[in-house]
């Protein structure tokens, strides 16, 4: 997949979101541990 927005490798601001289990996950929890891919799904309903 082409990175048309040139965002691969950039640092993002801290944020938190609920996971599929309802637990709140903070992006900072993964800092310096592994690569992160953020996928945001939008409901059509």
Domain boundaries, position 24: 1-45
Total domains in the fold of the chain: 1
Enter the DSSP assignment of 34: S
Predicted local distance difference test score (pLDDT) of residue 1: 64
Low-confidence ranges of the chain (pLDDT < 50): none
CA 34-37-41 angle, to 5 degrees, is 150
0.75 exceeded by the pTM?
no
């Amino acid at each position: 997949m082409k990175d048309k927005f040139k965002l691969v490798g950039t640092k993002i601001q801290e944020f938190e979101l609920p996971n599929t289990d309802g637990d709140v996950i903070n992006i900072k929890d993964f800092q310096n541990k592994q690569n992160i891919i953020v996928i945001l799904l939008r409901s059509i309903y």
